[in-house]
Structure 1
Amino acid sequence: MKRLVSTLALMWTAWQAQAADPVRVDPPHRLPDTVLRVLPPTAQGRSYQLHVHLPASFASQPQRRYPVLYVTDAYWDFATLVASYGNLVYDRVVPEFIIVGLGYAGDGLDYDALRLWDLSPVRLPNEKAESGHANQFLATLEQVVLPLVERDYRADPAQRFLAGSSLGGLFALHAMYAKPGLFQGYIAASPAVVAGGDWIIGQAQAYAATGKPLHARLYVTGAEYEWPGFLAGIQRYQALLPTLKHPGLVFQNRTIDGERHAGTKAESYTRGMRFVFEPLAPETGPSKD
């Protein structure tokens, strides 16, 4: 009993000292092993910012090159991927890799309007903001972002991967058909297939008609409790994939049970990373004794 009273007294004294310090400023919480890179404005006046997470071995292995996972909507999704990454590396089901979040530089930004411009491959007339510039954004990635990351962060140009959710997922699918070979794997979490009246399905069918290969791994999800029409579009694309018979494409479809549109991200990204990086993983399957 005396020990308990003594402990409580010490806690009370510490709390009083803290409360009496008017200049105390607690440091902000930061994600370890991360940096921000603000890029010069593009010719179109777009100001992009990269959120970069580096592997634990990055500093100690200066000759090593790493795979890279690029993810759209970094202001929302970057931290989610970084949190899952540590768990997956610990379990040895993915290799060490770099995560690069694609975002925008500046304060007080309208992310909805900015992403609509960049991530939609087709103009969406019912939206308030301008849309349909995915090809410009893809060109910026190819000509500016990828060379920078591969130069400054020892990224492996033969091991690029792209992930995104909703419009970001649609952008990932568009990149796969518009620039095959630019990335080696794609995670399309709840992609906005319905945009432009299933426009991406038409692109998939047109690409399949050429008979050209798609040497990539693709992971596509929808959420059980998405808006019904939105989920129906995803399901149409998922059902179409096996019939397209894209040579070289290895894909997996999944419906995340019990989740709505945004809640599906954590599981979609975690399982998606496991799937697209499986050929590079130190171990696969159940834990080994």
Structure 2
Amino acid sequence: MRISCFSLLKVFLSVLWLLSVAIRAEVTLPNTQTKDIKSNINQQVYRLHIQLPANYTDTNKHYPVVYLLDAQWDFPLLSAIYGQQYYDGFLPELILVGITWGGENADANKLRRRDFTPSDMDGNGGSGQAATFLKVIDQEIIPFIDEQFRSNDNRTLMGSSLGGLFTLYAMFNQPQRFNQYIPSSPAVDWDDGVLYTSAKQYLKNPPPHPIKMFMPVSELETLYTPVMQMADFLTQQNLPNLQWQKHVVLGAGHSGVKAEGDTRGLQYVFAKPAINLTQVQLKQYTGLYQAANQPDIKIVLDKSLSQLSAVLKGKATSLLAANPQQFFHRGEFFKVNFHSSETNKVNGLTLNTFASSVNYTKVN
């Protein structure tokens, strides 16, 4: 069967057209939604990518919110990291909000340079609108999310490169607005380090509550030295109410910082503090616990007599104390809440894993 050149050309053009449609089409991640809002401050349309906790519709709980810059690139990565870290017990249930630009012919490369930078380095208005964008987030995007969803006052801001520059700018200029900041490979060398002047604003108006910041950078990128210099500066300044940490991603370049850097950053800023309990406090929980159609749990003191372990199906899982009644295992979704009678005698526990929540009765 002979096929004419004209027919082949028609097929080829049809395939090109279908590919162009696929490339232009926006793919929405499962269990996420998008909402557009037009700012009254700078008249820009912003597109918000939103992911709610899996059990959001089944509860009346209010949740912390993580705000991510450059959602057009990084929201799928954040969604994946969150799922992994929640499964492993490192993160609480969160609302994720990715911020990008909407409207006709939105050029993310051009608009991020405008919105994320603190100075008009080129003198043509194409940069230097960080103060305006911070106002958009503060006065429009956050109130919109708080009105539409059951959020609480625990907020995190994260971004990479120019987005990391803006994240630090926001921390210096309005540290009380967010509880946690994760600037990945921040472009701190922008305009000869003009960001350093913003640190003075932090000293003038430090946050009334402690905040956390995690700053990763890759070993092989050109921003390594400027970011290390910023880390030295922060150490010297000893900014009040700021707990922070730097992290070097080995063997990676500028874009490679995100997967490990964002993972470590979220682990750090949402880390559960463990408290020390006395042997007397711990010993009251030891014993055998049973539930119908479930394997027994035995709570024992470890060899050091300073920590509890839960023995289930012959496997011992170490438990850290979040408070005198609630314990967790770091690196696994394994949480134990002990119950007491009216006479304050321990009479049971609830074991929460990723897939289930089971009540046990203390029998010995």
Question: Partner residue of 2:237?
Answer: 244
Query: Residue 135 of structure 2 aligns to which amino acid in structure 1?
Result: A
Question: Partner residue of 1:11?
Answer: none
**1:180 corresponds to 2:178:** no
**1:74 corresponds to 2:71:** yes
**1:102 corresponds to 2:99:** yes
Contact 1:190 1:222 in 2 (8 A): yes
- Stretches of structure 1 that go unaligned for 5 or more consecutive residues are 1-25
**1:89 corresponds to 2:89:** no
CA distance in 1, matches of 2:125, 2:250: 32
- Stretches of structure 2 that go unaligned for 5 or more consecutive residues are 1-21, 274-321, 336-364
Question: Which residue of 195, 199, 203 corresponds with 2:194?
Answer: 199
Question: Partner residue of 2:134?
Answer: 138
SS of corresponding position for 1:260: coil
Query: Residue 83 of structure 1 aligns to which amino acid in structure 2?
Result: A
Give 1:97 shift: 0.3
Q: Which has the higher contact order (CA 8 A, sep 6+)?
A: 1
Identity among equivalent pairs (%): 33
CA distance in 2, matches of 1:30, 1:208: 38
Question: Partner residue of 2:34?
Answer: 36
Contact 1:118 1:132 in 2 (8 A): yes
User: Structure 1 or 2: larger helix share?
Assistant: 1
TM-score, length-scaled by structure 2: 0.66
CA distance in 2, matches of 1:189, 1:91: 22
Query: Residue 118 of structure 2 aligns to which amino acid in structure 1?
Result: P
**1:189 corresponds to 2:157:** no
CA distance in 2, matches of 1:81, 1:155: 18
| 1:63-95 residue CA offsets vs partner (Å, 9 max, x unmatched) | 110000001000011110000100111111110
Query: Residue 185 of structure 2 aligns to which amino acid in structure 1?
Result: S
Q: How many residues align?
A: 258
Give 1:241 shift: 1.6
Question: Partner residue of 2:46?
Answer: 48
Contact 1:211 1:246 in 2 (8 A): no
CA distance in 2, matches of 1:43, 1:244: 34
Contact 1:208 1:244 in 2 (8 A): no
Give 1:208 shift: 6.1
Question: Partner residue of 2:271?
Answer: 278
Question: Partner residue of 1:168?
Answer: 163
Give 1:160 shift: 0.7
SS of corresponding position for 2:38: coil
CA distance in 2, matches of 1:48, 1:270: 26
Contact 2:172 2:202 in 1 (8 A): no
Question: Partner residue of 1:212?
Answer: 206
CA distance in 1, matches of 2:166, 2:121: 14
CA distance in 1, matches of 2:61, 2:70: 28
CA distance in 2, matches of 1:72, 1:43: 18
CA distance in 1, matches of 2:205, 2:42: 35
TM-score, length-scaled by structure 1: 0.82
Change in CA separation of 1:50 and 1:286 when aligned onto 2, cut-off 3 Å: closer
CA distance in 2, matches of 1:208, 1:143: 20
CA distance in 2, matches of 1:208, 1:155: 26
Give 1:263 shift: 1.3
Question: Partner residue of 1:148?
Answer: 144
Please report the RMSD computed on the Cα atoms of aligned residues, expressed in angstroms. Answer: 2.5
Query: Residue 256 of structure 1 aligns to which amino acid in structure 2?
Result: V
Change in CA separation of 1:151 and 1:192 when aligned onto 2, cut-off 3 Å: same
SS of corresponding position for 2:77: helix
Higher-Rg structure is 2
SS of corresponding position for 2:57: coil
Give 1:184 shift: 0.3
Change in CA separation of 1:164 and 1:181 when aligned onto 2, cut-off 3 Å: same
Query: Residue 276 of structure 1 aligns to which amino acid in structure 2?
Result: V
Contact 1:278 1:284 in 2 (8 A): no
